[in-house]
Chain A
Amino acid sequence: MKRFLNDLRRYWAYTLYSAKSQLKSEVANSYLNWVWWVLEPFCFMLIYSFVFGTLIGRKIEYYNIYIFAGLALWDFFNRCIKSSVRMVKRHKPIVSRVYLPKFTLIISDIMVSAFKMMICLGITLCMLAVYRVPVTVNILFVFPIVITMMLLTYACETILLHLGVFIEDMANVVNILLRFLFYLTGIFYNIRTILEEPYSSILVKLNPVALLIESLRNCMIYGKTPDLKIIINWFFISLIVAVLGTRNIYKNENTYVKVI
């Protein structure tokens, strides 16, 4: 833990600069430059509003916001997990020349995706205002939900970063698992209406991504208090996995270069 904190402090400047550079490089050669960071999710919002708000029926209240908020969190998780599998190989030019605690690669990656998620959540807030959705104080639960999502993502990434170095096909396996998880998470539909109780509750409780997305929607759009007990449980499970995953990376990180 001491080593982790020391390394985090020592490499914080690099991690932050690397994340900023990554974001910048993604739009560096485009005509609209940084405007794409806002324009892209804004366009998606318009598409969802048109397709799901106008063309398809409205079985779910504020359906376009419902989808957009869900996708904000899902895209964050999905992007980070996919990226973590090839994390070390992608940074081969750097990690084969200089020592770098490999967990900083994960943190930098999470920062990039978190920035994009924050823009999406900002647009969701604007949508709440445009559609005059009654907002309650429960919207503040967004913060613990997002923090838990980040910790959960970090925890999963520590495991996948390690496996991705040694197993060539890991990216294919992860793609399939993510697709499966996508349908178990209920981005475009409500799991509770698709499945009967108690199966839907069990599924939401056992799938932390579904739990966090449902909680986010509930507190942002519908003014409900999320089930804090289960969120806290998942927070601590993620914390334990994150600690174990980081320890495992520390233990093996110097052999990664030999493999890649």
Chain B
Amino acid sequence: MMTAKTPTLKIIQIPGPDEKKPGAAAKGAGKSGKKRWQPEQAEPAITVKDLKIRYKSVAAYSIKKKLLHLQGADTKTFEAVRGISFVVNKGQILGITGKNGSGKSTLLRALANIFSADEGSIDLHGHSVSLLAIGVGFNGELTGRENIMISGLLLGFSEELVREKMDDIIEFAGIGDFIDMPVRTYSSGMHSKLAFSITAVLETDIMLIDEVLSVGDEKFKKKSYQRMKELIEDRNRTVVIVSHSLSTLTDLCDTVMWMHEGKIMEIGDPETVLEDYRKFMS
């Protein structure tokens, strides 16, 4: 088994694409046109130190099971993230990949403050953060419009701002009159379109994206991918993308982190890391 590398400094020291050898720089810039992180901009947006996240002794238990079977405590412990450290600077686009169960999504949820760290720390340096994931939770009984408002308020935006952006979100989602229907009547594609549109239009300082770039039909996929690129091009926005799509990571990210069994296997420029990952998986 490969040993995990020490990533903390490496991620800061990765040169921007413009500083790479001419061929590589041209390749990166040509693909996405957004590779804009520079070392001198090194203002940390996310600092993760020795982060460990476990699923242990918190399993819900049944009184019946306790009384009838006299089971001991539910002591099954699974360490999803095993002491990782890294820094993502402001404006940087970090891609995270790895096979299923490697701790990517758990890490992303910890960054979004949904999971607590069992050990170590996560510092977002006061930046606002939103998690964009497939199947973002909606109240099925409420209309799409009401769910937009609720999601916006949950993301920390004011009611006025959400109202201001409401038309843009509805237009981007492109679900027509369904916007005033209860969300439970939506197809899964419409559900995802609306979820994506909310986060894509209501912009936060840090965007965490979990396998969301391929939602909806072909037309919406192109539109969402384009929008994602626009968002990423904003120099003030920090983005962390979890994806299995190596082409997406190569195209959008300026740094890629490969996770395996809760640890960082490698972190660095996309081409190198993804090539090693490809070899490992083959």
Contacts and interface: CB of A to CB of B under 8 A. Distances in A.
Given A166-B61, A168-B61, A255-B58, A99 B114 contact: yes
Number of chain B interface residues as a range? 35 or more
- Scoring B63, B114, B116, B138 by chain A CB atoms within 10 A of each residue's CB, the highest score goes to B114
Nearest to B53: A258
B101 to A, nearest CB: 15
A93 B139 CA distance: 8
Contacts, number: 93
A28 B137 CA distance: 20
A92 B142 contact: no
A202 interface: no
A100 interface: yes
A97 B60 CA distance: 20
Given A14-B154, A17-B159, A28-B182, A166 B112 contact: no
B59 A259 contact: yes
A25 interface: yes
Interface stretch (B40-48, B145-153, B247-255): B145-153
Contacts of A257: 109, 114-115
Interface in A244-260: 254-255, 257-260
A100 B116 contact: no
A18 B58 contact: no
Contacts of B182: 25, 28-29
Contacts of B59: 259
B142 A10 contact: no
Contact of B63 (A14, A100, A165, A169): A169
B252 to A, nearest CB: 22
Nearest to A164: B60
A145 B159 CA distance: 33
A260 B154 CA distance: 20
B55 A258 contact: yes
B137 A92 contact: yes
Contacts of A167: 60-63
A254 B112 CA distance: 11
Interface stretch (B1-9, B128-136, B169-177): B128-136
A25 B113 contact: no
Given A169-B64, A173-B63, A257-B114, A97 B158 contact: no
A1 interface: no
A21 interface: yes
B55 A13 contact: no
Contact of B142 (A21, A98, A173): A21
A254 B131 contact: no
A95 interface: yes
B234 interface: no
A95 B114 contact: yes
Contacts of A95: 114, 137
Interface in A10-30: 10-11, 13-14, 17-18, 21, 24-26, 28-29
Contacts of A93: 135-139
Interface string B178-211: 0000100000000000000000000000000000
Given A28-B182, A166-B61, A258-B55, 7 more contacts: A91-B137, A96-B109, A97-B131, A99-B112, A99-B113, A169-B62, A257-B109
Q: Across chains A and B, which 7 residue pairs bring their CB atoms closest together, nearest first? A: A93-B137, A254-B116, A25-B141, A14-B153, A99-B113, A169-B63, A94-B137
Interface of A: 10-11, 13-14, 17-18, 21, 24-26, 28-29, 91-100, 165-169, 173, 254-255, 257-260
